[in-house]
Amino acid sequence: MWNFSFAFPTLLILFIILGFYFSLLRLPIKRNHIFVQMIVVETVTIISNILSSYACNQYKILPHWLVVVLNMIFFLAFFTRITLMFDFTISVLNVDRKIPYAWGQLIRLPYYISVLVTLASPFTGWIFYIDDTGYHSGPLYNILYISGFWFVILMHGFVFCFRKNLSQRRERICMLFYSFSLFIGLLMRICLPRVLLMNTFALMALIMVYLAFENPEYDLDLKGVVFNDKALRKYIEENIGRVDHGCIGVAVRRYYEMRDIYGTEQLDAGLYMIGKYLRQQFPDEMVFYQRRGRFVILGKPEMKFDEAFHSIAERFKNPWKSVGVELFLDVGFAKIEISKDMESSDNILNAIVSAFEKINDQSIDEPVVVSTEEILQIGRQTLVKRNLEETIEENAVEVFLQPLMDAKTGEVVGAEALSRIRDFEGNIIPPGIFIPIAEKSGRINEVGEQVFEKTCRFIRDYDITKMGVQWINVNLSPIQFLRLDLAERFSRIAKEYNVSPEMIHMEITEESMVDDNFLERQMQMMEEKGFRFVLDDYGTGYSNLSRLKKCSFINIKLDRSVVLDYHSKPDEILTTMIQAFKHMNFGITAEGIEDEEMAEEMKNIGCDYLQGYLYSKPIPMDEFVTRYMK
């Protein structure tokens, strides 16, 4: 006789999980698909276990075929249950895609054999048979345990080897207890075969998985109406490089202002309504909420973008209304083309973020379009960022020197220090690419300090006057210029290398000259320590003469574009301006001198120093020494 006292409560608890799970929105990723299969198969296993045991008790009154079929269903469900649990394990450990197909099949061989043996059982009696005296185990019955323990041991092994792939402690602990619970379940079945206790342990394993990984709430936002940004990452990571997607970004413009005006509670209520509305509008697509009023709709590549933009924009013309809430919000759109050729999910996520940033910047109503090419470009930037980070960590920012020539004598008088980094193949990445990235990622201070320190070391190690060099220019980014401890830090480094600060001229651009008071204060602090300032790239920004008068630059560098302009169409403006500068006691340098003619022109209109490829490109320090050391 079989004992059902554990099986029924187990089944009832399982129904509670089923109810919760299916009432919530679920992210269509592989792990969730396996979990759905797991709970369905678990239900079938428990019900067929109860029914087949009941049928075996009542074998005398029930038709023979029914008893056989019910037993067969139970055994098939039993084998499938444990194999699915194994599939789930390797899926959460992220190793499922890494196992070669043939190996994957080989590992599952015990499952395939068990299924075949079960299907053959009604004819062969290998696993079970029913005769006049009732149910009996067949000669191959123990295949149940062989297959069961095989998968449980594999699960333990995988969890042990790849536990680092689980990011949270909660997940690691769960996976350990999960396979352990199945192990105990199998032992219980051996010890108490008639108590149907294994179901209870399998359910325990399921509940653990539910709590640690599969609660759909982990992927939801805005009271469960849409997916959250973690879900977006998970989905993109899994589907990247497999399918094309159409992607729409919908953003509430001026989110923070709106929050100040309406208050957090009202705005949240509005966002909930927007989430609900988008779900209704795009029932076949996935809607994600990325915080700060930003929604992402992911769908098929042939999604009708214009129609979607139009209908959402129309809806936003009306207020978002519910009890005690009435909000008028401004909306912006982005269209992001996600192609299956893209390899990195980070690039796509960065592209989405940058599209949202552009929506906020844009005052016109046109949607922001992020093309596949732009996403690849973002990918290249990510790579440069990684190169940059590694270079900074290894103190490997290189400094190249470009000579500054005296316009009258044609001899070297100074040099400009220009930074370089290298990609993983050793090719040079120019500063035009990595400096803006370093500025955005907050690492420009480190780049600047390495350049400054290496310049100091160069001055200490060589007698630069023997190369004709009287000073070296170092570029300062506007971000570095904002540091209040800049004078202190640079003067400390110069002291460390025993270098007189007068030998180093700081190049700043007009971008650093935003706040007059700050500019004066910072320049004064630096000058007190002995540093001198040069204004770089003159003619590219908003040049204000009266402001220049207030600043103690020792030199103004005309940007290459100004020099080229004059070269193609000489006019009086530049000549007059240079005269005015000289009157104000500024020295003048012309950048971008590429031929003798340009050099002659610049010399004639009064430039004191010349810099350009005509004399030399920026070259590594040791090359500079060999070339100019007399």
Q: Would you tell me which residues interact with ligand C2E (CB under 6 A)?
A: 402, 418-419, 430-432, 435, 448, 451, 475-477, 507, 536-537, 560, 591-594, 611-613, 618
Q: Which sign does the torsion angle of CA 80, 82, 83, 88 carry?
A: positive
Q: C-beta of 469: minimal distance to ligand C2E in Å?
A: 17
Taking CB under 5 A as the criterion, the residue among 42, 87, 537, 608 binding Mg ion is 537
DSSP string, 528-586: HTT-EEEEEEETSS---HHHHHHS-EEEEEEPHHHHHHHHHS--HHHHHHHHHHHHTT-
Cβ nearer to ligand C2E, comparing 258 with 397:
397
Q: C-beta of 481: minimal distance to Mg ion in Å?
A: 13
- Give yes or no for residue 221 binding Mg ion (CB under 5 A): no
Choices 108-116, 295-303, 467-475, 495-503 (CB under 5 A): range interacting with Mg ion = 467-475
Q: C-beta of 438: minimal distance to ligand C2E in Å?
A: 8
Q: C-beta of 515: minimal distance to ligand C2E in Å?
A: 19
Cβ nearer to ligand C2E, comparing 290 with 611:
611
- Give yes or no for residue 446 binding Mg ion (CB under 5 A): no
Distances (CA, A) of 197 to 39, 53, 189: 17, 13, 7
Backbone angles phi and psi of 181, in degrees to 5: -60, -40
C-alpha 213/C-alpha 211 separation (Å) is 6
For 408, counting Cβ atoms within 10 Å of its Cβ (0-12 exposed, 13-18 middle, 19+ buried), the class is: exposed
Cβ nearer to Mg ion, comparing 87 with 536:
536
C-alpha 370/C-alpha 183 separation (Å) is 51
Contact partner at residue 435 from Mg ion, ligand C2E, none, CB < 5 to 8 Å by partner kind: ligand C2E
Cβ nearer to Mg ion, comparing 78 with 538:
538
Contact partner at residue 410 from ligand C2E, Mg ion, none, CB < 5 to 8 Å by partner kind: none
Check: CB of residue 442 under 8 Å from CB of residue 451: no
**Is 140 in a helix, a strand, or coil?**
coil
Contact partner at residue 367 from ligand C2E, Mg ion, none, CB < 5 to 8 Å by partner kind: none
Contact partner at residue 83 from Mg ion, ligand C2E, none, CB < 5 to 8 Å by partner kind: none
Contact partner at residue 432 from Mg ion, ligand C2E, none, CB < 5 to 8 Å by partner kind: ligand C2E
Check: CB of residue 521 under 8 Å from CB of residue 555: no
- Which of 264, 229, 234, 266 is closest to 249 using CA atoms? 229
Q: C-beta of 476: minimal distance to ligand C2E in Å?
A: 6
For 628, counting Cβ atoms within 10 Å of its Cβ (0-12 exposed, 13-18 middle, 19+ buried), the class is: buried
Taking CB under 5 A as the criterion, the residue among 337, 453, 536, 608 binding Mg ion is 536
Tokens at residue 127, please? 């696993």
Cβ nearer to ligand C2E, comparing 19 with 432:
432
Cβ nearer to ligand C2E, comparing 39 with 435:
435
Check: CB of residue 91 under 8 Å from CB of residue 31: yes
C-alpha 182/C-alpha 155 separation (Å) is 10
Contact partner at residue 445 from ligand C2E, Mg ion, none, CB < 5 to 8 Å by partner kind: none
| Binding-residue total with Mg ion (CB under 5 A) | 4
Cβ nearer to ligand C2E, comparing 221 with 536:
536
Q: C-beta of 609: minimal distance to ligand C2E in Å?
A: 12
Cβ nearer to Mg ion, comparing 285 with 537:
537
Q: How far is CA 619 from the centre of its chain?
A: 36
Query: Which amino acid, 204?
Result: M
Q: How far is CA 211 from the centre of its chain?
A: 26
Choices 267-275, 468-476, 525-533, 547-555 (CB under 5 A): range interacting with Mg ion = 468-476
Contact partner at residue 214 from ligand C2E, Mg ion, none, CB < 5 to 8 Å by partner kind: none
Q: C-beta of 545: minimal distance to ligand C2E in Å?
A: 21
Contact partner at residue 275 from ligand C2E, Mg ion, none, CB < 5 to 8 Å by partner kind: none
Taking CB under 5 A as the criterion, the residue among 179, 360, 381, 475 binding Mg ion is 475
- Which of 76, 59, 41, 356 is closest to 203 using CA atoms? 41
C-alpha 573/C-alpha 348 separation (Å) is 48
Cβ nearer to ligand C2E, comparing 91 with 473:
473
Contact partner at residue 510 from ligand C2E, Mg ion, none, CB < 5 to 8 Å by partner kind: none
- Give yes or no for residue 555 binding Mg ion (CB under 5 A): no
Taking CB under 5 A as the criterion, the residue among 221, 285, 446, 507 binding Mg ion is 507
Length of the chain: 630
- Give yes or no for residue 510 binding Mg ion (CB under 5 A): no
Tokens at residue 230, please? 């973690």
Cβ nearer to ligand C2E, comparing 241 with 620:
620
- Give yes or no for residue 42 binding Mg ion (CB under 5 A): no
Contact partner at residue 219 from Mg ion, ligand C2E, none, CB < 5 to 8 Å by partner kind: none
**Is 155 in a helix, a strand, or coil?**
helix
C-alpha 564/C-alpha 573 separation (Å) is 14
Cβ nearer to ligand C2E, comparing 248 with 421:
421
Q: C-beta of 549: minimal distance to ligand C2E in Å?
A: 23
Q: C-beta of 566: minimal distance to Mg ion in Å?
A: 16
Cβ nearer to ligand C2E, comparing 353 with 564:
564
Cβ nearer to ligand C2E, comparing 293 with 431:
431
3-state helix, strand, coil in the chain (%, to 5): 55, 15, 25
Cβ nearer to ligand C2E, comparing 217 with 622:
622
DSSP string, 205-247: HHHHHIIIII-GGGGEETTTTEE-HHHHHHHHHHHTTT--EEE
- Give yes or no for residue 453 binding Mg ion (CB under 5 A): no
Q: C-beta of 596: minimal distance to ligand C2E in Å?
A: 13
DSSP string, 95-118: -TTTS-HHHHHHHTHHHHHHHHHH
Quote the DSSP letter at residue 401.
E
Residues that bind Mg ion (CB under 5 A): 475, 507, 536-537
